[in-house]
């Protein structure tokens, strides 16, 4: 009798596994999930026509236009139109040429990144962005007598003329700015 019972249990288990392999389980419905889905489906075409939000573009701007242009420019507005949206970019006049040159590429990258039909770019030319206070250059430090002697010793073989004096000033400026090692080349 026990063998029959175990055979029936194994048979039921096999049938259950076979049934589960053919059917997909659905997660339990949450309250309001159907309403959210219906609203999202209804609004998707309207939101796509409206164009991307400026906040979304700002958050991905370096990825879209590259680091070099992202440092000088920023998206300021998206204006909806019948044929698609117009993206307004704030940039200094010096960057306007780069933007015009990369016009098609920027539009393509914006549409790829946010999935909205941006068809035109408009450039609002502004003044250059002010530098942050931390980026301002520090005044040079004063040289010690040993450092001045080292610069003079390096120029000892040159004849005493205005070129030597200019090189001495240059050497002192370099030592004042980079006291322990020479500047890195870029």
Give the global pTM: 0.47
Q: What is the pLDDT of residues 106-164, one digit of tens each?
A: 998 888 887 777 889 999 998 766 656 655 566 778 888 888 898 889 888 988 888 88
Q: How many CB atoms lie within 10 A of CB 155?
A: 14
Q: Do 60 and 118 reside in the same domain of the chain? A: yes
Q: Note whether 86 and 106 are within 8 A (CB).
A: no
**Residue 94 domain-assigned?**
yes
Token couple for 8: 């029936």
CATH number at residue 52: 3.30.300.180
**Residue 26 domain-assigned?**
no
87 lies in which domain range? 47-126
Token couple for 145: 């007598």
C-alpha pair distances (Å), 35 with each of 25, 29, 47, 127: 21, 11, 17, 48
Nearest Cα to Cα of residue 110 among 121, 100, 101: 121
Nearest Cα to Cα of residue 72 among 86, 89, 88, 57: 89
Q: What is the pLDDT of residues 62-109, one digit of tens each?
A: 888 888 888 889 999 888 877 778 889 999 988 888 889 889 999 988
Q: Do 108 and 58 reside in the same domain of the chain? A: yes
**Residue 167 domain-assigned?**
yes
Q: What is the pLDDT of residues 24-54, one digit of tens each?
A: 555 555 656 777 788 878 877 766 666 677 8
Beta strands in the chain (DSSP E): 74-79, 85-92, 118-126
What is the number of structural domains in the chain? 2
* Helix, strand, or coil (residue 153): helix
């Amino acid at each position: 009798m026990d063998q029959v019972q175990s055979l029936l249990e194994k048979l039921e288990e096999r049938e259950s596994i076979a049934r589960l392999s053919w059917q997909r389980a659905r997660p339990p419905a949450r309250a309001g999930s159907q309403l959210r889905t219906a609203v999202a489906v209804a609004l998707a075409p309207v939101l796509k026509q409206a164009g991307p939000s400026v906040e979304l573009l700002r958050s991905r701007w370096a990825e879209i236009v590259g680091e070099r242009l992202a440092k000088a420019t920023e998206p300021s507005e998206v204006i909806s139109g019948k044929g698609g949206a117009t993206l307004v970019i704030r940039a200094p006049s010096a960057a306007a040429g780069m933007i015009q040159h990369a016009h098609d590429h920027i539009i393509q990258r914006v549409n790829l990144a946010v999935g909205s039909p941006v068809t035109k770019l408009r450039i609002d030319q502004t003044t250059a962005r002010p530098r942050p206070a931390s980026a301002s250059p520090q005044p040079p430090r004063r040289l010690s007598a040993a450092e001045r002697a080292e610069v003079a010793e390096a120029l000892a073989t040159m004849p005493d003329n205005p070129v030597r004096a200019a090189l001495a000033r240059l050497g002192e400026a370099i030592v004042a700015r980079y006291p322990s090692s020479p500047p890195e080349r870029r």
